């Protein structure tokens, strides 16, 4: 048999093996890469229309607040799981100048609005639409839901991939309020965006 054919087949099998390993370890329900290279850096500055289309939200209005940025969509099952915890935490931590921002990502505003009417809208949360996915790209969103925590200095201090629990929200926000270092958050199940 020709050596070129043998090398070509061997190279092809090696490439397929590498791809299989990469896809099975990266796109599972419990991804290992839950940390973000953004942790410790300044949060992106951005603006986006509110989900109702009646205003434009700008992060510059949150100067000095602790901010929880949650990326969600109406088709995301993990988003439904975490929704009540987010609503409760937004209400509980509002007196501490903690602002929740829900970013509708890769979804239709009408579907997102209808979903919020079904599950309950938080009066303490600003809901915006990431029309061109620019905000998600700036944060490096890989799957939904994803939640980022920004301290009063505007630094991203934590990220949760997958549905976040009430306990995790409370623990992280208390650590930020007290000026403590936030520990690692274990990943949960995510819905890949496509």
Cβ atoms of 103 and 73 closer than 8 Å: no
Mean pLDDT for 129-135 is 96
Degrees (nearest 5) of the Cα angle 145, 183, 165? 40
| End-to-end Cα, the chain, rounded Å | 43
3-state secondary structure the chain: CCHHHHHHHHHHHHHHHHHHHHHHHHCCCCCCCCCCCCCCCECCCCEEEECCCCCEEEHHHHCCCEEEEEEECCCCHHHHHHHHHHHHHHHHHHHHCEEEEEEEECCCHHHHHHHHHHHCCCCCEEEEEECCCHHHHHHCCCEECEEEEECCCCEEEEEEECCCCHHHHHHHHHHHHCCCCCCCCCCCCCEECC
Report pTM: 0.80
The pLDDT tens digits for 138-181 are 999 999 999 999 999 999 999 999 999 999 999 999 999 999 98
Mean pLDDT for 10-28 is 44
Domain boundaries, the chain: 1-30, 34-192
Provide the token pair at 174: 């208390």
User: In which band, very low, low, confident or very high, does the pLDDT at 25 lie, cut at 50, 70 and 90?
Assistant: very low
34-192 adopts what CATH topology? Glutaredoxin (3.40.30)
The pLDDT tens digits for 60-84 are 999 999 999 999 999 999 999 999 9
Provide the token pair at 95: 């007196």
């Amino acid at each position: 048999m020709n050596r070129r054919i043998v090398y070509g087949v061997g190279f092809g099998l090696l490439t397929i093996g590498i791809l299989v390993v990469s896809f099975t370890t990266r796109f599972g329900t419990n991804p290992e890469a839950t940390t973000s290279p953004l942790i410790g850096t300044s949060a992106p500055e951005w603006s986006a229309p509110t989900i109702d289309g009646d205003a434009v939200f700008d992060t510059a209005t949150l100067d000095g607040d602790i901010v929880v940025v949650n990326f969600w969509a109406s088709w995301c099952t993990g988003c439904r799981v975490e929704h009540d915890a987010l609503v409760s935490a937004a209400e509980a931590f509002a007196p501490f100048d903690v602002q929740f921002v829900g970013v509708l990502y890769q979804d239709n505003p009408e579907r997102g609005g209808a979903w919020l009417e079904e599950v309950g809208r938080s009066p303490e949360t600003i809901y915006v639409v990431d029309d061109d996915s620019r905000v998600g790209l700036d944060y490096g969103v890989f799957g939904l839901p994803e939640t980022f925590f920004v301290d009063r200095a505007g630094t991203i201090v934590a990220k949760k991939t997958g549905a976040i629990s009430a306990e995790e929200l409370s623990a992280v926000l208390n650590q930020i309020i007290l000026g403590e270092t936030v520990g690692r958050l274990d990943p949960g199940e995510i819905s890949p965006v496509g």
